[in-house]
Amino acid sequence: MREWGRRFQMRKIIHIDMDCFYAAIEERENPSLCGKPVAVGGSSRRGVLTTANYEARKYGCRSAMPVYKALELCPQLILLPVRFDLYSSVSSGIRAIFHRFTDLVEPLSLDEAYLDVSHLRSGGAAVAREIRAQIKEEIRLTASAGIAPNKLLAKIASNWNKPDGQFEVDAEEIPDFVRNLPVGRLWGVGRKMRQRLAAQGIQTCGDLQRFDVVELVKRYGKWGHELWHLCRGMDDRAVQPHRIRKSVSSETTFSENLHAMEDLRRPMEVMLAGLVEELEAKHSMRRIRSLVVKLKFADFQQTTAERAGQVLDALVYEQILTEAWSRGGGRPVRLLGVGVRFDDPQPMMQLDLFGG
């Protein structure tokens, strides 16, 4: 345990996560909504929810769920349109509160951020309580917080006592805290990786800790080295106030070249579903500037087609795919990529995944 303590004792990281941010703002603006199932999201049944309040979650509604499915689960669901300007304005006020305590603020989206408060004499838990109190008093919204020696554990901890709560992981508590932690809580372990690990009998971080780093690298490549550290609660990433990602994409190289555009449609649908999941999990508050399709042909020549747009619309992607395919002159395709480019360096909200 002392090894963990020596490794992390110099950092105090707070992860602040607003509670049902968009729905909570709508309830604040219209108190008659309080106590009713409310969701913010797509403007049609083809859209998806960007958030659902806790009343709606009792029925199984959740972010990234298609609107039609949410309405099936909760016919009385109050579905509200996205009001980006309002949410952005509220977020700016919250960030102003963060900066009263530290300049080391790394926004992840409009409703969450990391703060490094290592320079403050007060304990991280005390600072987090004061930040949450100021948000509640001035913004009239609740926030949850995680406090830990690193970003990985702070983000996990912020979900421990939601809503309107906080949880701290001390350096000496890290081994016990992570031992029974589901591997799905680890940064970068998505649905497919969870399934792969589960198929090998790995459910918890403790299960992963039984393998040495060499074995994990053999099983999972470079990612195995990362897993060895993460399952032990180790994360050396610093809070980066200005780190901005300009695009997100997914690519697949086919085991055999595809000779017709019809053969590309189904793989693209699967890749778009994965892209939606990644955007919702990591970049849901960024405004999208354009949609992108990339093809690499059998002769290794490649082309990228792009179209302006703010929503991930499958029909538009098919049109872009047709444009890219037409440039190949009938050449077989060995790689397909789909992605988005973001509008500007400010964290903004993706307005309506697959919306219309």
Please spell the DSSP secondary structure of 43-83, one letter per residue.
SSTTSBEEEE-HHHHTTT--TT-BHHHHHHH-TT-EEEE--
Question: In terms of C-beta distances under 8 Å and separation of at least 24 residues, what long-range contacts does 159-167 make, across chains too?
Answer: 159/17, 162/17, 162/19, 163/19, 163/20, 163/54, 164/19, 164/132, 164/136, 166/125, 166/128, 166/129, 166/132
Strands 166-168 and 143-148: parallel
Q: Which residues contact 150 (CB under 8 A, 6 or more apart)?
A: 8, 11, 13, 233, 234, 235, 236, 237
Catalytic residue among 112, 130, 251, 323: 112
CB 241 within 8 A of CB 108: no
Annotation says 251 is catalytic? no
Which residues have CB under 8 Å from 270's CB, separation 6+? none
CA distances from 202 to 175, 183, 273, 290 (A): 17, 8, 25, 39
Nearest to 172 by CA among 10, 8, 12: 8
Residues annotated catalytic, as ranges: 112
